[in-house]
Structure 1
Amino acid sequence: MSEHSQSLLQAATEVAEYAARVAMRWYGAGVAVETKGDGSPVTIADREAEREARAWIEARFPQDGLLGEEFDDVRPHATRRWIFDPIDGTKAFVRGVPLWGTLVACCEGETVLAGAACYPAVGETVSAAPGEGCWWNGARASVSTTGTLRSATALITDSRFLERPHRRDAWHALAAEVAVCRTWGDCYGYLLVATGRAEIMVDDIMNPWDSAALHPIITEAGGRFSDWRGRDTAFGGDVIATNAALANAARRYLLETPDHS
């Protein structure tokens, strides 16, 4: 592992775990919930976790840009920037469901240099950097070798959000073929794919703070991460993540044709 990659991977992991501990102060405490302009929920836990994460990065990488879900972009034209989602899965968080996490990515342009996801309520952290592998609670992580849809587990955050009919139809066709179909979604679904406990995870709408950290985690675990048009990107606005063995089979159902772009 190069010293540069190691430093960024360690920093991403440390700040994700730190911000997750901040969020945990309010977990299970009946925190008040506000509704943002886009209809999504937000709490003091989201804001304080991101505030602390930003301060942590500012103290160590003061020239870098900062982008997060809850606060304004800082130094948007910086060569390198850190992207935060303090609580991915706020709907789960406020209901005391442990399937939420804190996401942190370090990027140069659209290249993710390191990504980390901490799931404090279940005691798991997964992180990765290109060429350096994916690490799950300190051990190497890898996707499953399951090679048939009939044996696969497919996940989605909420199929009701597939508003475009062709995507809804594609998902239901795929779901009918797999062994298990569940909504263990948000960032938790990507943890399951990266660690071999599920094979397919899809999301219809993803902001940069939702997806950036997850790209190296899936790819360095041996999987494939693309948008619904098949592009290998963390910034496509939607995601299909799979193990390698089912990458083509799953995408035959899900990838959009030019007529559906």
Structure 2
Amino acid sequence: MARIDAATAEDLISTAAELAEAARNATLLHFRTDALAADSKETHRFDPVTVADRLSEERMRAILARRRPQDGILGEEFGAVQGTSGLTWVLDPIDGTRGYLSGTPTWGVLISVRDAEGVVYGLIDQPYIRERFEGGLGRALVTGPSGERVLRCRGPRALSDAILFSTFPEVGTPAEGAAFRNVAARARLVRYGMDCYGYALVAAGQIDLVIEAGLQAYDVQAPIAVIEAAGGIVTDWQGGPCLEGGRVLAAANAEIHAEALRWLNG
């Protein structure tokens, strides 16, 4: 389909904001409550899902059924629905459920919309700390307790001066972990456990790199939109597209991206 016209863009942006508000309210109903419990989606490892994950996605889907019934949906908890418009909403109702269960504040909600060519707009919303990062359709903004400001990634610097984030120290398979450590050993500072907030910090100009593996489409599409709108780059570990997830390298600029790629594949 053709890229988005002005009227459609305005509607997509306002719809995404309504989705984010609904997800924010749904997730905060259960956050840091004594009654919160989790089931595991897998038997060989703890992959938690909570009533808040399901409620958040249910409320977002209800809004889309009312406002954008012609669009498709891909959500983490309730799968895919085909649309007729050529647009698909990609929803992660809580990115960082382990952190959510633990009471940490940096879990988030990921909302994006894509067409046949790629992601056109995305939000990284942080309900508890009330920051919202948005990118695409001419926007690259963060709003929160400190007001509103334009998102802009950091400028070039050597890997030896860079800050690198990843969610898990293991970073996928043993081979993937070894490749990650090849980069991490050369970075100035390495931090773990921020989930989607790490990608937001790339867009905000605070850090240089996020490197992860084993991701899904709903984990990456909103971060791609936000980081690219802020001037950064998001690819797989070979420098190709990563719209469907897998191995992801998010970088603040082309220079640090190229250096990280060399060591990932070295």
TM-score with structure 1 setting the length: 0.91
The percentage of counterpart residues that share the same residue type is: 30
1:27–1:93 CA contact under 8 A, matched in 2? yes
**C-alpha distance 44-169 of structure 1, shift in aligned 2 (>3 A):** same
Structure 1 residue aligned with 2:124: 117
Q: For residue 259 of structure 1, what is the aligned residue in structure 2?
A: none
Question: What does 1:80-159 align with in structure 2 at a 5 Å threshold?
Answer: 80-130=87-137, 132-137=138-143, 138-159=148-169
For structure 2, the residue ranges without an aligned partner over 5 or more in a row are none
Q: Are residues 1:35 and 2:45 paired?
A: no
Matched, 1:71 2:67: no
- Per the alignment, residue 24 of structure 2 pairs with 20
Give a deviation string over 1:156-195, Cα, whole Å, max 9, x none.
1102142142x22221121111111010432111011110
2:60 aligned with 1:56, yes or no? no
Cα 1:48–1:61 shift into 2, 3 Å: same
Give the CA RMSD over aligned residues: 1.9
TM-score by length of 2: 0.89
Give the distance between the partners of 2:84 and 2:66, measured in 1 at CA.
19
Summarize deviations over 1:32-61 as a string: whole Å, max 9, x none. Answer: 111113641000000000000110111100
The 3 A distance-change label for structure 1 pair 46 and 3 is same
1 CA distance for matches of 2:240 and 2:15? Answer: 28
Q: Does 1:174 align with 2:183?
A: yes
- Does residue 162 in structure 1 map to residue 167 in structure 2? no
CA contact (8 A) 2:96 2:195 kept: yes
Q: How many residues align?
A: 254
Give the deviation of 1:21 after TM superposition: 2.0
Tell me the SS of whatever aligns to 2:13. Answer: helix
Where is the strand percentage greater, Structure 1 or Structure 2?
Answer: 2
Given that 1:20 and 1:86 are in contact with CA atoms closer than 8 Å, whether structure 2 keeps it comes out as: no
Question: CA contact under 8 A between 2:235 and 2:250: conserved in structure 1?
Answer: yes
Contact kept in structure 2, 1:8 and 1:113, CA below 8 Å: no
